[in-house]
Structure 1
């Protein structure tokens, strides 16, 4: 799975800085690998936290309400982890929009894929959900990485305009 994310990441040329030397390329590749590791670590942490929140809320409400509330909290956690830990891009309207959009896209993708895997491929729900989670990771990474790179470029551009 990490290999799939790295391949998808290297296809995102728009956010890659111009490479002058072999050393520049090597440094960029190392930074990219660490960024992917931070992304996977933050996703694991977020999944764990929102699952615990779901387990607590299910004691007080229906599964649908507990899922929706824990998913909403997960969006906030993901935003904070992505701007401060994963991409280190800082707060921006673009990043807020990207996190919300990526989570909505992931939600609807997951809902559709889950139903297709269960109804048409006759997979058990627990296995179908695992497939949905694994296949959504590269999609979410690419959306968020692109937004983080654009937000950082906008901040740099603003700084140049102020000089």
Structure 2
């Protein structure tokens, strides 16, 4: 969702987000004004149709979906770190001249940039962020993992 919100703040209007959690799909649709679909079913982008795909999850299935969706000559940006390894269709990558970029997004400079765009309002009204007490941290992560929250991000308060 953050990628969609940031792209929207830059003026990009044709954004599609894959989200498996139905609660978060509704949040993304409302907050990011993006087309949203469940990648496990129908309704996603056509094969070979996207100029740029950002894989913010980094799972085996999301890598495969990213490569399936990107068009020849397009770019897949990989920032998610969910799984250690997975198969990549290197033949398609090569023959379709797809650019695969891996980028680490957790540096101090990234944090400073994120705070700056947050302050500038790039992420909207933040109604899509949920706050919980730090003592509920374990339950919060379980809820995120098991799809029991509409929040894209949870903030734990001491």
The TM tier, using the shorter chain, reads under 0.3
Higher relative contact order (CA 8 A, sep 6+): 1
Please, what TM-score do these two structures have when normalized by structure 2? 0.24
More helix by share: 1
